[in-house]
Each structure stands twice: as C-alpha cells, then as structure tokens.
Structure 1
Amino acid sequence: MPRFLSTTPDVRLVGLPWDTPLAEWPHAHLVALPRGISRHVVRFIRVGDEVLAAKEVIEHLAIHEYRLLHDLARMDTPAVEAHSVITDRGTAADGTPLDPVLVTRHLRFALPYRSLFTRGVRSETVGRLIDAMVVLLVRLHLAGFLWGDVSLSNTLFRRDAGEFAAYLVDAETGELHNSLSTGQREHDLHIARTNLFGEFLDLQAGGQLDQQLDPLSLVDQIEARYRELWAELTAPEEFDETQMHRVDGRVRRLNALGFDVAELDITTDIEGTTVRIQPKVVDAGHHSRRLLRLTGLDTEENQARRLLNDLDSYRVRTDQQGVDEAVAAHQWLTQCFEPVIRLVPDHLFAKREAAQIYHEFLDYRWYRSEAAGAEVPLDEAARGYVHDILTKLPDEAVPADELSFLDSPSSRSHRLANPYDPSEGYAEDAD
C-alpha cells in the first residue's frame, strides 16, 4: 500500500492508481493543460473538484522539495503550494521500483512561459516577464532562499494588471538560509544568465522571439534590473542632516515598488553632520495588503495598485476625501467592483480572475469614454467589455465546477499553437 505524507491528509488520493507509472495513467484521471519542459514525468490530475500537479522524483528530493515549499508558504513567498508526497508505490511491469510522487496544488490562472510565447509576445511584454522574473528572484533572495536552478521553465506567470507576477514551481535544488551571502546571490545570478540565455536562444530558433530582441541583451537586462532592485531595497544611503526628507523619500520609493519597510536603521556620524539609512527588513505586498485590509480582496500587487487608484478616484468623484477610508472602500466595493463582476457570466471566469477582469474593464471603459467624449455608464461599459473583449479571450484557469469542459471539443479550439493531450500535461514543476 502506498504511504501518504501530508500536513492535511486527503482521503480522495487513496483511490488513485499510484501503483501505475504516471506516464501510463488513464486519461480519466488527467486534465489537459499547457505543458512546459521537465526532466521528470509530470501530470495534472483530477482529485474531486480540484486539480493537482503530480511529479515523479526520487524520495529524498520529493521530501526535500515538499518541506521547502511548506517553508516558503509560511514566509508568504510566491511559490506553488505543496500538497503531499506518495511513497511505497510498488514496482513497474519490469520490476523497477516506482519513484515517489510529489503533489502540488495547481496555480490557477498561471501559465508557463512557452504558452505565453506561442501566442505571439511583443517586445514590451517580454520586458514585463523579465521584470516579474527579477522581482521573484529578489524576493526569494530576501527570504534567504538559494534557488540553484533559476530558469523560465521553473517559473509560472500570472497576469497582474498590466504586468505579470512570477511564481516558483520547482524547489528541488533550493536551499533555505537565514540570509544569503553576496557569493550565493552571485551564484544564482550566474545560473540565471546561463539558463535564461539558453531558453531565449531556443525561443529564437523556434521563431517565437521578436526579431528585435537579442538573447544576450535580454540576460544582461535581467542582471542589471536585479542589481538595481536589490540596491534600492537593501543598499545604505548617506546624506546631509539637512536632508532628512530623504528618509521619507526612501520609504515612499520602496512602497512604490510594492515593498514595506519593517525596520529602518538610521545612524549619524560623531559630528552629527551625515545621516546614514538602511532598510533592515523589507516585505513585498504593500498594496495587496492594504487592499485586503480595506476590502477583503486578495489580489496580486499591481492589480491591488490599480484597484486602489480606482478607489481613490471614486472618493474624489463622490467627495469622500474626508470620510473614513474603510467606509469609502466598502461603498466602492458595493457600487463599483461588485456590480461589474456580477455582470460576468459564470462560464467566463475561466478566462480571467476577478481583479484582472476589473482592471481590464477600467481600461476598456476609459477608451470607450475617450471615443464617446463622455464617461460611459458603468453597466454599459461592463457589458461591452464582456461582449467585445472577455468572450474572445482563451481560458487560463480550470474552474472547479468545469473540469469536464477542458476535455470538450469546444475547449480545444481555445488551445492555441498545439493540441494538448491530457497524457502530456505540462510540468508545473518544470526543470
């Protein structure tokens, strides 16, 4: 009998064919999703109304990654969520022992980079993907996580307003420390340059990279942006004691980047003429935490920034600048956000999550209003966005109540570039 390692045991796993190699699992247990590249066998499996990613890997690596992913989750670091490890699976037909399986939860609305490139990505979008990758690497390093295998293949991307948010999907080679030395960070940067250069060359050879983009320039750009962000978050800053406003300026810049300062070390020299400041602890999610506190909406960082901007505009339009922010936020939620989301048919929520829908609705309403020379009413703009934009977008999620939709002929018409065989589910834990 298989053994199950999990902090939250799931009896639904017991009846699955764990004594069969993942590569030979019946289609009835699998879900067709875009696949990436992996040296392991990875499949997306159905477990009740949930989709999980299952990866065959040797036991000590499976347990190591399972525990690391749990640690990263406790630290609120962007990574897939560990579900369980299944061991003692018996042997294959040739008598070879079956490797254990690491199970992680499928990250809804997230895509591997190859799925994004097969849809034809502009150079501006590549820049946004690079930014997301850099922010992920910096956040991991701030948390003391040495990745050891930085690559696009080991990353998933979710839409975040006009940007992307990146998530770690493979911690197999990772190590968690109290903090990282400069040498450890440089080691990860070297690996990133090597792996990403090869991936960009592969995309270029396949005609999937904009001809204006040079792979070497892209990896140089990634390294430069990493160093700029790391310095902004951690480097000390010195100035004259008459320029104390720069303390507030540093905090505001960090907030604008989406980071909160938990502690700021401020020192002066013996004469008291030079001030030196250095952020001690920085936490990502400044805007998302504020939006969650005000409205209960749990979003990505740039989505939160966009929604908070709309909330601020609402307060101005309704002359509520002097009203308690929480009260105004509740009114905005019930009079702006929720009416738009209610106008979206249930079957279209596989295309975008609610916060992304509202962001795109705001863009659509602005363009429509500019063309009309007057503000388009909210209901009219929402219906127009659903009809003109949302209905034409491909699905990017697996709704819990629509798993069977993924295997229908109509769903396959949305899967661009190549048909996805359920037996070849993409590697969410790709290497």
Structure 2
Amino acid sequence: MTYPLASRLDSVKPSPSMGAKLRVDQLRAAGRTIIDFTIGEPDFPTPSHIVEAGVSALTSGQTRYTASAGIPALRRAIAEKLERENGLTYGPEQLVVGCGAKNIIYSALAATVGDGDDVIVPAPYWVSYPDMVALHGGTPVIVQCDESAGFKLSADALDQAITPRTRWLILNSPNNPTGAIYSPEELKALADVLLRHPHVWLMTDEIYEHFSYGDVRHVSIAAVEPKLKDRLLIVNGVSKAYAMTGWRIGYGAGPVPLIKAITLLLTQSVSCATTVSQVAAVTALQGPQDCVAEAKALFQARRDRMVELLDKIPGIRCPRPDGAFYAFVSVAGLIGARTTSGKTLADDLDVIMFFLDEAGVAAIDGSSYGAPGYVRMSFATSIEQIEAGCSALAQAISSLVTAPTTLKETNHA
C-alpha cells in the first residue's frame, strides 16, 4: 500500500550536512577510519558552568511548558546581549525563542512567504535557505557572489535582483560556507538599496557572529542603518558560540507583528523551546564570556593551519575565511583528472567521493551550497586531525593520473 505525500515535499532535498554526517557514521561503523571535515559544530563540550545551570534546572523541577515566545529571563538576557554586544535596543515583545535558529528562520518564512513571492538568496548559501523558501510556495532567487567579490552580495547585484514580487533578502554574515563577513561600508551600500525598496524585508542570520578573525569584525546591519529595523529580523542563537548545538536554542529579534506571527506558529508546532535549555541559555548569555574568546582563538589557529596546508596541495586553492569555522576550497584544478581506476572527476561531487574513498577524508560538495567547483571543509576539529586529513588528501591527489603541471598551474591562482 502506498501513502500519498504532500506535493510541497517535491521541492525539498535532504540536508547535505546531515547526509554527510550519516555517511561518516556508516563508514566508521563498517570499520573505516574517517577524518571528518563535514562538522558544523564545535568539537568541544558545552562549558561546565552552562551545563551546571541545566542540571540545576532539572533538579529544581524546571521541566514544564513555558510561554511559546520563551521564558522572560531568557528574553531579558537576549535583550541585554543585543545592547551590550551589538548596540541594539529590543524589548521583550520584540524577541522570540525557538528550537534553534533554524526553527526561527523556518517559522518566519512560513509566516510571510506564499505562492508568487520571491526571496533573494546570495550564493554560496547555507543549504537550507532555498529549500525552506520553496517549501512555503516561494521562489528562491539565487544571486551568484563569486570569489572575486569575496563571496559577497554587491549593492548593484541586489538592486538588479529586486522585483515587485520580492519579499525577503536573506543575508548570512559571517557566512556558512565561505566565512565571508560584510564590512560596515558594504552593509551600508546594501541598506541604501533596501531603503529604495520598502516592500523588501531583510533577514540576517548572525549565528557565527563571535567567530571573526584578524582585524575583521562582525557588525549588525541594524547598527549601520537603524531605518531598516522595522522590517529586519535578526536571527541568532547559542549553538555555535557556546557549543550548545544539541540544546536547540535560537532566537529572533524583529518588529512586533512579525514576532507575534512567529510565536503563533510556535504555539501550533513545537509549543515552546525546551525549558531546561532555555535556563542554560540564560547562563550562557549572562555568565562569563571567556569560553567564547577561547573558542575564537582556537578556531583561528585551526583556520590558519588548514589554509596553510591545503594551499600547498596541487590542484587545490584555499581562500582564507574571515569568519565562521569553514574553509571553502576551490577544487577546480582537480576536475577533469582521472583516478588510477580510470574514473574521471567530472565535478565537485566526484571530488568529495574521491576524497572519501581514497583519502578517508569527508567533506561537503560546493554544489550543495550553490557553488560548483568548491568543497566545504570544517576546521571545527583538532590540529592533529587537520594535519592528518591534509596529508591524506595530498597523498591521494598525488596518485591522480594527471599531468602535474595541469594541477600546479591552478595552485595559488
């Protein structure tokens, strides 16, 4: 007997990140040693003072339903964080807590996007944006942002993409998968375009905000252009900064009508975020922040080592990311090469399977992020794993049946 499924599912693809994790788990279960560069989360535990707050919440009986928008203490902590770190003022009625940042993004699109609506998504993009737009009947309008432009959306490209049907622009900075971070000047240029198109709303995904390296700093567009605040939804959470991915706490800050609409959907979907996780998130936001600074320093050291090693491998070019914890690596120099078994690497999908089969290294294809010819590699893993993985890749690539000069010419381009 077959069971009919809703036609809306036809537009949805499985998450490549979750698929990669499953593939790694299966290979490890079969006895393979796999170095995993697919990881989209910190590889260290949640800081102990946050865990202790969660345990205390359990033992004190804080295990019941909460208000769908989140407990008052957490919304106050979020408001304090936004003022302290971003220079932004939001009241509790302008804040909503969800089961992770993804839950907030999904609910916001569900509340606002319908048939015939366009949502501008700069590419490379986080894999879920286009699918979530399509799931709600909208059309993701993909705007390619090349490496030559720093993988960032220009004001001219945005202006050309906007039509009367445009409902949202989704902006992710620091970016997954590229690590690109928009400067205040770049944000102001984008804001000026949006001010000329008052029907377009802006969603900023700032989940990686604490991970910026060198002299580059994350700035919220609301601080650059306050006039956008009445049609801006800021999405953030505690998952990345505090190694709390499994606690599932994200939040949105925006105009009251939109926050009410998101909250309404939460009442009929998840009811509320987990109480224990909300209590722990209060401690994360209000407690000592040394753990965030330590994580940032650790990721910067890992970034530097991964970029250094990858850029030495013929056929690979690794732009240095300014933020997040991913390297977005060009593998254009490997496409067209043949393996010793006679298989031609026709695209980045073939390349990641070659990495997995021949080097025991797992990565995610750039095509899943709207950027063929690239591969995403996470440096949210130890220096030892980074060194071992890059060594394995270099050895595997050296076995390709390709003229060395062909590969070498693409290096450091």
TM-score normalised by L of structure 1: 0.26
TM-score normalised by L of structure 2: 0.27
